[in-house]
Structure 1
Amino acid sequence: MNLGPLPSVAAAAVPAEGFVLDVREDDEWAAGHVEGALHIPMSDFVARYGELTEALAEQDGRVYVMCRVGGRSAQVTQYLVRQEIDAVNIDGGMQAWDGAGRPMVTDNGSPAFVL
């Protein structure tokens, strides 16, 4: 099955109301993340896939998959596309998100940064 090129989008083009799936590890998430994103580390993704499907049941539209620079999120995006989920990889990940001046938060209120 040839899926064609991996769907991707620039960080600056992700809609403010877009559903972001962050697949970075816990320490990366703690340093700074997109407010409202669903966090499922790639290392736990298969075991926690049900959390994504539950969240998708409440969403309308596509899943924007994020990691630090785009490698892990590309793998997860490819998997989701194979599951017939409308998923796109965020080019450049959190580094591009931060570089585009997009907002980031932390759970403890400290200044957010990309780890």
Structure 2
Amino acid sequence: MSVPQIEAGDVPAEAYLLDVREHDEWAAGHAPDAVHIPLGELQARVDEVPAEQTVYVVCRVGGRSASAAAWLNHIGRDAINVGGGMQSWDHARRPMVSESGQQPFVA
């Protein structure tokens, strides 16, 4: 099953961005308005993901987010994988924040 994909630099500023990385990766650095649901928790927490809008899914390099986007599309949601993940997000100089108060980085 093919998963729709977008480059990090092309994700709309107002997009619903779902970050499926682990807690330590999230804490190190993430997009300011992203929503954090680790991949392992996604099925149990899917009701937190809006059904009425496109969901852009991101992880570190794009593998976990591709799996998450494929599953979301399978259950009838509109999900797009962010190609290259947060590494590409950082490379595109998109904004990032950290939970630690330190300079954000992609863990």
- Per-residue deviation, 1:107: 2.6
Number of residue pairs the alignment of both structures matches: 107
- What TM-score, normalized by structure 2, do the two folds share? 0.93
Unpaired stretches in structure 1, ≥5 consecutive residues: none
For 2:102 and 2:45, the matched residues in 1 are separated by 28
Unaligned runs of 5+ in 2: none
The amino acid of 1:65's aligned partner reads: V
Residues 37-92 of structure 1, C-alpha deviation per residue, up to 9 Å, x if partnerless?
Answer: 1100011111222222xxx16xx631000000000000000001111111100000
TM-score, normalization: structure 1?
0.87
1:110 aligns with 2:107: no
Distance 1:47 1:21 in 2: 15
Please tell me whether Structure 1 or Structure 2 has the larger radius of gyration of its CA atoms.
Answer: 1
Identity across the alignment (%): 51
Root-mean-square deviation (CA, aligned residues, Å) is 1.3
Residue identity matched to 1:96: S
Q: Which amino acid aligns with 2:36?
A: H
Segments ≥4 residues shifted beyond 6 Å? none
